[in-house]
Structure 1
Amino acid sequence: MRSVVVAKFVPWPPNSGDKRRTLGLVRALRRHGEVTLCAFETPDDDAAPLRAEGIDVRSVPLQRSVRGLLDGLRVGQSITAARFWDRRLAATVRGAVAEGTDVTLVGHVQFMPYAPSGRRGTYVVDMQNIESSLAGRIAASATGVKKVAWAAEAWALRRLESRTRRADVVSVVSDLDRDTLAGIVDHPRVLVVPNAWDEPDPLPPAQDPVVSFVALLSWGPNVEAAAWFAREVWPRVVEAVPGARLQLVGRNPAPAVQALAGPSVEVTGTVPDLAPWYQRTRVALAPLLTGGGSRMKILEALATGRPVVATAIGAEGLEDLVGRGVVVADEPAAMAQEIVALLGDPDRATELGLAGARAVGEDHSWTAAVRPLLAQLETPGTV
């Protein structure tokens, strides 16, 4: 089986949820045949490790221009789709498909315009989020011009998502996303391919009362989550546990996140290796107020043996892990209470974190996650 995968970025290093999902899917397809990966490449990306695994990587440097944005609006009609439209990547995809393919998999609904017309083989759209729902949530909490802009983007993305009816198979990350998509488009083959994590490797128990939010801290929902937690929840934690420390760990922290730094709050910026930061962590966080999909960072934290305290939205798509490594609390007082309890009981925190690591290994491996998709792709006559 030969597959062509169109992705947002070369997924190495796998330092974001988007890249980790792309890497998991590409590796799964590679185990079943040849894979050509067409993606943007930034100066921080490295295709060499993927090529060493036998993956044919064809990358295009990410360059944005007014002309590209206008072209993208014409092709994709959505601002977030237009930002990633590039004629060079389109030509790269066409060339790869023209060489022959059994499967063309497009990651993200915004990348659907890259799927060549007159395609050969099975066409799969992998939806990491229901993007119109995410944009709608952002619009609901915004004001003024931002509210209007995000509402318009939600409408445009909904139109784009309705085009998934042209795909042979659509994969989503959770039952909730499948149900949400069903309200947009009637598609006979929508499969749940959850986010996953191979080979959990629990770290030794943390020695100090440290709480961490590990995320891309330039992304709007993560910025909102960090600010809400630092202002509404963290003062309650510090009042109960005066020696507690909060680590906000992640790339490109927005000014609003940088402003949260203080005596008990550290904003790290980009770090070369997350392991030392997880080693210090007794409790990990997923305090999202908006968002979509399922939370790769929850799997990452649990894989290191760290329990996660999350909002209900933060744990969306991973509800099976609630009570198995994940604790849900939505209100500031309730969230602070759960965190204080775990900080004050290191043995319980360790036990809950190890339960999460076991759950990830048993139920959230990539081998298990991709099984329904591979069954569709490998069974003649099913698509």
Structure 2
Amino acid sequence: MGETLFLAHRVPFPPDRGDKIRSFHVLRALARLGPVHVGTFDDRSGYGDEFLTGIAASHHLVPARKRDMIAAAEAMAKGQPVSLAAFANDRLHEWVAQVLHYRPIDAIYVFSGQMAQYVPPHFPGRVVLDLCDVDSAKFEAYGNAGHGPKAWIHAREGRLLASAEERFARAADTTLLISENEANLFRTRVSNMHQIDLRVMRNGIDANFFAPDAVKAEPTLYGPGPNIVFTGQMDYAPNVAAVERMAQRILPAIREVHRDAEFHIVGRAPTPAVKALGKHAGVTVWGEVPDVRPYLAEADIVAAPLTIARGIQNKVLEAMAMAKPVLLSPEAATGIDAEDGVHFAVAEGDRMMAGRALALIDDRAKARAMGEAARAFVLEHQGWAAMLSGLGELLRPSLADPVRDAA
């Protein structure tokens, strides 16, 4: 391969949240194929420049995306989705133009739809658009579930972003989504699939890192339990809703039978609403921790009671790789071709969620067997090497490539 331009809406390091885990592994795979140039936005992690200097032939790191209010004002004035306005940056546009002019760029890998605005309409090489999931559907769901001005804003975002996603997919050579469910959802939201090459590239898991024997046991980390754990970015609305559901409705039903049952919320940037859950009996909000693995290792159950979930949930794969029984909603199970009752436990409503938790608590042998089966499933089906094995072919020009529409 020649050289690749990689555009991402968030610096792919450290790989400590869903999209950054995927972009981190994709970027590493691209760097193994040939020189890669990276344009991205910092997220104040403090690691961006050092990481990019070590992996990229060149890079441009925008200090921060626009503030929400500024992006919203620009989006309203221009009739754009706020998601695009937030990541519009003149200097990054200039840097992209310079890279394409001076370097032999054969392919552009666009990570997340917000970055498709940087691809020139007449770029002659390959363009791969990795949408990951259908963001417009998420905003549409927010709009349907909410009320007042915020619901109107979310509905507007869902509508305009859906149009942009279709336009960008037509301009790309190949569009990637994270699961068959997301791909099927995308198909229902476009006018037609003419000139859209839609494929699935699932998320993987580093099963050597997330492994039961990769961390030292910390038996005093929690109380006697049973201990139920949720991990994730705790300023992300679906995660906030999930832990509120667990703390307020599911845990109390479990504690009616097991008075010592505890729920642990592990993840950075907890909102005030999440922190307030720590006042509930049996709930501990840990916030950001240096390493999530010990908190998974000492869990009796890992829970993911999400009601809005796009793509594949890394938190579920991580817990499965740690050989833990995972209690999850149907939404959180989408995109993972595992078997309910064997590799994890799927429950739809609050009562069923509590019932399946109690069954796992009361049958430790079954819970242990489920965890062992979960890890075996991850080892066989979900490794990153297998997931990214076709990446090189996606970026190579083909004589059968269709002519792209201009964006």
2:184 is the counterpart of 1:182: no
Name the structure 2 match of 1:203: 212
Cα offset, 1:183, TM superposition: 2.1
Write the mapping of 1:74-113 to structure 2, written as runs, cut at 5 A: 77-98=80-101, 99-113=103-117
Aligned residue for 2:331, secondary structure, equals coil
For residues 46 and 131 of structure 2, the distance between their equivalents in structure 1, rounded to whole angstroms, comes to 22
Task: Mark the CA change 1:248 to 1:14 in structure 2 (over 3 Å): closer, same or farther.
Answer: same
TM-score (norm 1): 0.92
Contact 1:168 1:189 in 2 (8 A): yes
1:34 lines up with 2:52 in the alignment: no
Whose Rg is larger?
2
TM-score where L is the length of structure 2: 0.87
Q: Secondary structure at the match of 1:313?
A: helix
1:60 alignment partner in structure 2: 62
Return the alpha-carbon distance in structure 2 between the equivalents of residues 111 and 74 of structure 1: 20
> How far 1:348 sits from its partner (Å)?
2.5
2:164 partner amino acid: L
1:364 equivalent in alignment to 2:368: no
Matched residues in 1 for 2:362 and 2:311: separation? 32
Partners of 1:57 and 1:346 lie apart in 2 by 50
Deviation at 1:292, TM superposition (A): 1.3
Q: Residue 63 of structure 1: CA displacement?
A: 4.6
In the superposition, relative to structure 1, how do residues 45 and 189 fare at CA in structure 2: closer, same or farther (>3 Å)? Answer: farther
Q: What is the percentage of aligned positions where both structures have the same residue? A: 28
More moved, 37-46 vs 119-128 = 37-46
Count of aligned pairs: 383
Map 1:120-199 → 2, pairs under 5 A: 120-163=124-167, 164-185=169-190, 186=193, 187-199=195-207
Q: Deviations over 1:218-264 (max 9, x none)?
A: 11111111111211111011112211111111111112111111331
SS in 2 for 1:232: helix
Q: Is the 8 A contact 1:193 1:369 kept in 2?
A: yes
Q: Matches of 1:326 and 1:95 in 2, distance apart?
A: 49
Alignment map for 1:180-259 (pairs within 5 Å): 180-185=185-190, 186=193, 187-200=195-208, 201-203=210-212, 208-259=225-276
Q: Distance in 1 between matches of 2:119 and 2:242?
A: 34
Alignment-mate amino acid for residue 265 of structure 1: V
Equivalent pair of 1:284/1:306 in contact (CA under 8 Å): yes
Q: Secondary structure at the match of 2:330?
A: coil
For 1:102, what is the secondary structure of its paired residue? Answer: strand
Match of 2:222 in 1: none
Task: Tell me whether 1:328 sits opposite 2:331 in the alignment.
Answer: no
**Are the counterparts in 1 of residues 129 and 174 from structure 2 also a CA contact under 8 Å?**
yes
1:296 counterpart (291, 314, 318): 314
Counterpart residue type for residue 26 of structure 2: L
CA 1:74–1:372: 2 relative to 1, 3 Å: farther
| Structure 1 position 173, deviation (Å) | 0.5
**Helix, strand or coil: the match of 2:338?**
helix
TM-superposed CA distance for 1:26, in Å, is: 1.0
In the alignment, the residues of structure 1 paired with residue 79 and residue 119 of structure 2 have an alpha-carbon distance, to the nearest angstrom, of 12
* Structure 1 segments unaligned to the other structure (5+ residues): none
